[in-house]
Amino acid sequence: MGIFTGLIMEVGRVRRVDRRSDGAYLVIDAQVVLEGTRIGDSVSVNGVDLTVIEMSADRFSADASLETLKRSTLGELRPGSRVNLERALGVGERLGGHMVQGHVDGTGRLVSVMQEGNAFRQRFGFARELGRYIAMKGSITVDGISLTVAGIGDDWFEVAIIPHTWRETTLRDLKPGDRVNLEVDVLAKYVERLMQYGEEGSKLSVEYLMEKGY
């Protein structure tokens, strides 16, 4: 398992997709993300942690399991699809976004896009069970991109996209109704798990967090 930052290194292009009874075999054209990459290393493809099984100077191959295809949008990829790519974080490298595991928690759909000056605001709908992990000004990963929540409702959240991110990722390709991969902040899931044990001696509770300013 790799650890990522959610800062996209390049946009690759799907060259080939082979459907199999146990999943899919993907071949993706790339260059930057392959610098220093070896067979067996992890690469995030639209936010999904995949293992490189074959590679050359300008492409790599990876397998996707049935579970991965079911929980993410990778099953919708076709030859020519553009995908966000990030190489797993190496020891000593800067953590520029937030800690991303490459484990998709669910999918969302683009609801709307609105230009704000030189930037763009995108609204995404999400399954209600993810709502407890999404907070205003918190971190969320959309198709592998580390973003900050800029608005939130019962079943939607908004993000503000700066010009660089708009140019260098696939967010500008999206149209209302398109599905995206979502990974919530792993810290929220750990806090929830710890709070489940609050009655067994742990000091961690809603009241305790409020007292400490959270």
For the residues of 90-159, what is the DSSP string, one character each? PTT----S--B-S---EEEEEEEEEEETTEEEEEEEE-GGGGGG--TT-EEEETTEEEEEEEE-SSEEEE
| Residue scoring higher pLDDT (109 or 93) | 109
Task: Give me the CATH number covering residue 70.
Answer: 2.40.30.20
Q: How confident is the model at residue 106 (pLDDT cuts 50, 70, 90)?
A: very high
Question: How many domains is the chain built from?
Answer: 2
Closest CA to 185 of 1, 6, 2: 6
Q: Is residue 82 part of a domain?
A: yes
Closest CA to 26 of 38, 9, 43, 10: 43
Q: How many residues does the chain have?
A: 214
- Same domain for 14 and 79, yes or no, is yes
Q: How confident is the model at residue 2 (pLDDT cuts 50, 70, 90)?
A: confident
- Same domain for 82 and 45, yes or no, is yes
Q: Is residue 98 part of a domain?
A: no
Q: Residue 44 pairs with which residues in a beta bridge?
A: 49, 86
Q: Is residue 59 part of a domain?
A: yes
Residue 182 belongs to what domain range?
A: 106-191
Q: Is residue 112 part of a domain?
A: yes
pLDDT digits (tens, 9 = 90+) for 131-184: 989 999 999 999 999 999 999 999 999 999 999 999 999 999 999 999 999 999
pTM: 0.87
- Same domain for 56 and 16, yes or no, is yes
Q: What is the mean pLDDT of the chain?
A: 89
Q: Is residue 200 part of a domain?
A: no
